[in-house]
Amino acid sequence: MIKQRIIVAGGAGYIGSHVCVELLSGGASLLIIDNFANSHPEAINRIKELAGAKVDLLQADLADPSQRKNIVDTVKRFQPTGGIHLAGLKAVGESVAEPARYYRINMGSALTMAEALEAAGAKMLVFSSSATVYGEENENPVAETGAASPTNPYGRTKYFIECMLKDIAEADPHWRIINLRYFNPVGAHPSGRIGENPNGVPNNLFPYIAQVAVGKREMLNIFGNDYPTKDGTGVRDYIHVCDLAKGHAAALRYLDQQENGCALDMNLGTGAGYSVLEAVAAFKRASNRDIPYAFAPRRDGDVAEIFANAELAENLLDWRAQKSLEDMCADHWRWQSQNPDGYET
Ligand code: WQD
C-alpha cells in the first residue's frame, strides 16, 4: 500500500486533532486545512508533540470563494492520496437561529474539499457526518437503513452533504466515499494533551459536566427527566473520541483497498445507550468531584433515546469501539483538569 498523504479539513478541531494523531501514528503525511474559527492553533502543536511528526498546515476558510483557488493549488501541490472532511459548524441550536450561515459554510466547505481532491486526482473522501441525520422515528439500535429525517438545519446540512457526495460518486465511479455517522463523541486522548475545547458555554453534555467538575460552572441542568427511558433522562450512544479516530483510519484503509468506486453511509457508535444520570454518576466516579444538577424542561429538538447499530463498520472496516464509559469519563476529566481553560491554559 502506498504511503497515505491525507488532507484533513478541520484537523485542528476536537475530532480532527484526534484523527490527525491516529493517522500520523500510522505513518501518514498530513496537510491540515483549518481557519481556527472553532479550534485553536495550539492544537496543532499538541498533535505534533503527541505524534512526534510534522504536519503541513494551510490556514484557510474552505467556505470562502475568494480562497478557493489558493486552497485547490495548495492541495494539488501536496499530491494527496485522499481526504477527511471535518470542517464545519456543529451547534444544533445555533443552526436553528442562523440556517443560511450553516448551509453556506457547511455545504460550501464540503464542496470545495471535494473539488480540490478531484483537481488533485485523489478521489477518496471520508466525510464527518452525524447521527443527527436520523431524526426521531427510527427503532433503536438505528442502522444505516434507518430513515434520514433530520429535525434541524445542522442535521440537514449533514444529510444534504451526504447526498451531494453520493451524486458526485454516481457521476464518476472513480470516487470512493464513506459518510461516517458519528453518534456522541466524548472523552479525550489519554495523555490529556488534546481534547474538547468549546467556545463559550458548552452545548453538549460531557464538556458541560467536565466544566462543573472543574468548578467553571455551578451546576448542570438536566434537560428533561420525564422521557420514556430507563430513568426518565435522555439516552445516547457515547463513543470515545479515540475509538472514533480509529474508525476514520479504518475507513481510509477500506477505501484504499477498493478497486471500484463506492459511496457508503456508516455508523460509528458503541451500540450501547447511557442516560444523562448514568453519565453524571460515571463522571463523578472518574473525577471524584461532585456534579450538582437540577432537572430542567426538555430541550427543543432532543430525542428521548438513540443508539447505534454499528455492525456495518464492524464487518466492513474490521473496527469496533473498545473504550468504556469509565474510560471516556476518566480521559475527559484528565484533559479538563490539566487544561481548565482548554488550549488557552
Ligand atoms: C446529550 C444528552 C441532552 C446538555 C448533539 C448533536 C450531534 C453531535 C453531538 C455534533 C441529551 C442532555 C445536554 C446539557 C443535558 N454534535 N443534556 N444538559 O444532543 O445528543 O447530540 O451533540 O456533531 O450532532 O445533535 O448531544 O451532548 O447535547 O446531549 O441534559 O447541558 O444530554 O438533553 O439527552 P446530542 P448533547
More confident residue, 136 or 162: 162
Question: Rounded distance, CA 38 to CA 102, Å?
Answer: 14
The residue length of the chain stands at 345
245 CB contacts (<8 Å, ≥6 apart)? 15, 18, 19, 21, 22
Task: Calculate how far, in angstroms, residue 237's C-alpha sits from the geometric centre of ligand 1.
Answer: 11
Residue 202 alpha carbon, nearest atom of ligand 1:
31
Residue nearest to atom 1 of ligand 1 (CA): 205
Amino acid at 142: V
Q: To the nearest 10°, report the CA torsion of 201, 203, 206, 212.
A: 30
Q: Decide the pairing of beta strands 82-85 and 124-130.
A: parallel
Give tens-digit pLDDT for 309-331: 999 999 999 999 999 999 999 99
Residue nearest to atom 16 of ligand 1 (CA): 90
Residue in 151, 212, 299 to alter for ligand 1 test, most ligand atoms within 8 A of Cβ = 299
CATH of domain 5-186+238-269: 3.40.50.720
Residue nearest to atom 17 of ligand 1 (CA): 205
User: Does residue 234 line the site of ligand 1, with CB under 6 A?
Assistant: yes
The confidence score (pLDDT) of residue 2 equals: 75
Give tens-digit pLDDT for 78-116: 999 999 999 999 999 899 999 999 999 999 999 999 999
Which listed residue (154, 159, 182, 274) is catalytic? 154
Domain regions of the chain by residue span: 5-186+238-269
User: Does residue 79 line the site of ligand 1, with CB under 6 A?
Assistant: no
Residue nearest to atom 14 of ligand 1 (CA): 205
Question: Rounded distance, CA 330 to CA 335, Å?
Answer: 9
Task: Calculate how far, in angstroms, residue 235's C-alpha sits from the geometric centre of ligand 1.
Answer: 10
158 CB contacts (<8 Å, ≥6 apart)? 106, 129, 130, 132, 133, 150
User: Does residue 299 line the site of ligand 1, with CB under 6 A?
Assistant: yes
Task: Calculate how far, in angstroms, residue 53's C-alpha sits from the geometric centre of ligand 1.
Answer: 34
User: Does residue 205 line the site of ligand 1, with CB under 6 A?
Assistant: yes
Residue nearest to atom 7 of ligand 1 (CA): 132
Secondary structure E strands in the chain: 5-9, 29-34, 56-59, 82-85, 124-130, 176-182, 184-186, 220-223, 235-236, 238-240, 262-268, 274-275, 293-296, 305-306
Give tens-digit pLDDT for 71-87: 999 999 999 999 999 99
End-to-end CA distance of the chain, in Å?
40
Which of 134, 255, 222, 226 minimizes the C-alpha distance to 183?
Answer: 134
More confident residue, 3 or 315: 315
pTM of this structure? 0.97
Give tens-digit pLDDT for 213-250: 999 999 999 999 999 999 999 999 999 999 999 999 99
User: Does residue 229 line the site of ligand 1, with CB under 6 A?
Assistant: no
The confidence score (pLDDT) of residue 1 equals: 60
Which of 198, 133, 202 minimizes the C-alpha distance to 163?
Answer: 133
Q: Is residue 154 among the annotated active site residues?
A: yes
